[in-house]
Amino acid sequence: MTSETSGTPAAAPDHAIDPFLWLEEVEGERALAWVRERNAHAEAALTGTRRFASTKASVLEVLDSADKIPAVGKAGDHLYNVWVDADHERGLWRRTSLESYRTDRPEWELLLDVDALNEAEGEDWVWHGAQLLRTGPLAFTRAIVDLSHGGSDADVSREFDLTTKQFIAPEDGGFYRAEAKGGLSWIDGDTVFVQSAADGEPTSSGYPRRARRVRRGQSLEQAEIVYEGETTDLYISAHHDRTPGFERDWVSRALTFYTSELHLLLPDGGLELLDVPASAEAGVHRSWLLVELRDDWEVGGATHAGGSLVAIEFEAFRAGSRAFTTLFAPTPSTALVGATWTRHHLVLNVLEDVKNRLEVLTPPESVDGGEPRDWARRPFTAAPALGTVGVAGVDRDGEGDLADALWMTSTDYLTPSTLSLVRLDEHGAETAVEPLKSAPAFFDADGLVAEQHFATSQDGTRVPYFVVRREDLALDGTAPTLLYGYGGFEISLTPGYSGGLGRAWLSRGGVYVVANIRGGGEYGPSWHQAALKANRHRAYEDFAAVARDLVTRGLTSPQHLGVQGGSNGGLLTGNMLTQYPELFGAVVVQVPLLDMQRYHLLLAGASWVAEYGDPEDPAEWEALRTFSPYHLFDSERSYPPVLFTTSTKDDRVHPGHARKLAARMLEAGKDVTSYENIEGGHGGSATNTQAAHMAALAYTFLWTRLTGGGPGDAGHPGGPATAS
């Protein structure tokens, strides 16, 4: 396989000849000429209308709003934020104090202006994050900044001096990682861990195969290799736990997307493998080892169910004890979706029928003889009863009054986000809840309601979904309705406020629906595993069941029902297009997987074999071909209008997927619109302006097709263009 941005990966053995293989040449001259032609067609069809212009402007106003909540993270005495608006498209990295943040107009200290950096260096950098050094004499004066060309996953790491507010060049001793997929992280002021896909042969998924310990002044080639994996592995990485009194070095070996090994890196360079299931996620905080299970585990004379969270003292575990304490066990209606530490407490975030419920656990001071003892438990009462709630520790390694504090965000489909600071006492009870920031309302929610329903899938499974609509909506099947879903990788879809969606869709009378189909994580690992590989059809049957239930309830009808999804959700909507075309009036397919015969040969595709299956295995290909939209397309069948969008800079899901199915459908004379953003990576856009443009394309396309158009709306795009 290749992960380069040009050239075509070799065809897999015995695969049928693909007449559109040339469209996989990401930056091939012929392929880009085709992209430019399709982009011009899409722009002509959709952008020259009043609806497009107003939609783009209203979405951009939301994205560029000065009244958004500045998301922050605490390091030392400062709160750090990256801010993007109309004047700073690539972002400002800045910081302030908590005292100043509490005010309506915080005083921000500018650290890095990415737009100015691009102008000075003649680059197209997109911010990818920063990691501050937190220990030693240089603590909080140095950072590692990650920057990406155009938003691709591949990025560079550069050391930044927060005192001079300048990068430290490699020739001056600064740490630097050349452009590649990977990462660089602090061990101490003069040592880092580095993993890079450019360090020798990468894994078959295009990720790092080696982790090195690099000392200041060393080149990557000179540095010690602390671990080297196999090319068949997914990702190798190393990191340093800086918790005072519990500093440890770790090596993570991801075998597949859902299996991994965690090794303790010993002072002599040896490795100690943690004896936990490969399918579990393990982590050590201070004296405690936590293991989150995907599958049932028989250990220490007990059986722990998949989806459980169990704990044990780490040193007791190393000494041979397997007397785990169960901190969470799933039920048919509940799943653990998060666990965050403060200095003395662990906060669990549980979904119950896709609604958040939080609980604070306090570990015992010690465990006598390695035997389990109960953790103290109390409900977290600061969270609102409805909506989506997330919490994160503010300063869990600190010793001050924020060591047991939490950032709490809350939102729902009709309520803008609120950020609060919640303090816990020694028993885990909330002693103070301080609202810090509230996002503005970007649309009028009066008269709108959000409700949850359940559809019955083909095999009898109850599938939850959310509906946002006008309370007085006439149930006559005429409402333009947008159905969204994902259904993969154990990712849960929970209610959240979107000013752009509210303005572009809900305020115009549209209905918005989110389906919580199998393949996601709404009911834990079993909900995800129910739609893996040969069982993928269940996700699509669930989604089709929701579509039919909307019609049965009178909310909409097929000609007024549109569907939208991206990435794995693009595979979902690609299957709605090819397997259930009669259910929809328009389909939007964004940064999708579509050719499931070659996906494992393209960019990061090999990393998802555990999710979808291996096309090289004849038995697994027989299952894969049943949900490969590129192969399910039938030129003799009727299909609803479709919009494909992707990005040339997407180095995760290859843009060839969208290009090839669009070309195949155009050749057959189908109603196809295709648009490829040059920048953006897998997110599809690198700036707010680009994001608003992409959103306006989708909303304009959907509204026009689901309502039949009208004055100021876009006309139908017309016939096929050359795709040879």
Q: Would you tell me how many other CB atoms lie within 10 Å of the CB of residue 575?
A: 25
Region at 605 (left for phi over 0; alpha for psi -120 to 50; beta for the rest): alpha
Residue position matching structure tokens 């169960």: 326
Q: Are strands 561-566 and 586-590 parallel, antiparallel or unpaired?
A: parallel
99-113: b (≥16 Cβ within 10 Å) or e:
eebeeeebebeebbb
Question: Are the CB atoms for 671 and 639 separated by under 8 Å?
Answer: yes
Q: Which of 567, 607, 674, 685 is catalytic?
A: 567
Q: How far is CA 313 from CA 221, 273, 289, 372, 441, in A?
A: 38, 16, 6, 9, 46
Q: Are strands 586-590 and 642-647 parallel, antiparallel or unpaired?
A: parallel
Residue 86 corresponds to which tokens in the numbers above? 């109309």
Question: Are the CB atoms for 662 and 578 separated by under 8 Å?
Answer: no
In sequence order, which ranges of 466-612 are alpha helices (DSSP H)?
Answer: 499-504, 525-529, 537-552, 568-579, 609-612
Q: Would you tell me how many other CB atoms lie within 10 Å of the CB of residue 328?
A: 20
Q: In what order do the strands lie in the sheet with 88-96?
A: 73-75, 78-85, 88-96, 109-113
Catalytic site includes residue 252? no
Give me the half-sphere count of Cα atoms (radius 13 Å) on the Cβ side of residue 701: 30
Q: Write the CB contacts of 390 (distance below 8 Å, at least 6 apart in sequence).
A: 338, 349, 356, 408, 409, 410
- Rounded to 5°, the CA angle 334-338-344 comes to 120
Residue position matching structure tokens 């995800």: 528
Residue 354 corresponds to which tokens in the numbers above? 């896709």
Question: Are the CB atoms for 557 and 471 separated by under 8 Å?
Answer: no
End-to-end CA distance of the chain: 25
Give dist(CA 681, CA 149) in Å, integer: 9
CA–chain centroid gap for 447, Å, is 32
Catalytic site includes residue 682? yes
Q: Which of 41, 682, 685, 693 is catalytic?
A: 682
Residue position matching structure tokens 């934020």: 81
Task: Identify the DSSP state of 11.
Answer: P
User: Looking at this protein, which amino acid is placed at residue 261?
Assistant: E
Of 421, 422, 404, 409, which Cα lies nearest the Cα of 345?
Answer: 404
Three-state DSSP class for residue 122: coil
Tell me whether residue 721 is exposed, middle or buried, using C-beta atoms within 10 angstroms of its C-beta: 0 to 12, 13 to 18, 19 or more: middle
Give dist(CA 424, CA 25) in Å, integer: 55
Residue 674 corresponds to which tokens in the numbers above? 């295709």
Residues in the chain: 724
Give dist(CA 317, CA 304) in Å, integer: 16
Give me the half-sphere count of Cα atoms (radius 13 Å) on the Cβ side of residue 117: 24
Of 653, 661, 658, which Cα lies nearest the Cα of 633?
Answer: 661
Of 436, 435, 428, which Cα lies nearest the Cα of 347?
Answer: 428
Give dist(CA 502, CA 441) in Å, integer: 10
Residue position matching structure tokens 């075309």: 581
- Phi, psi for 662 (deg, rounded to 5): -60, -45
Longest Cα separation, the chain:
78
Three-state DSSP class for residue 469: strand
Of 503, 511, 593, which Cα lies nearest the Cα of 547?
Answer: 511
Kindly list the catalytic residues.
567, 682
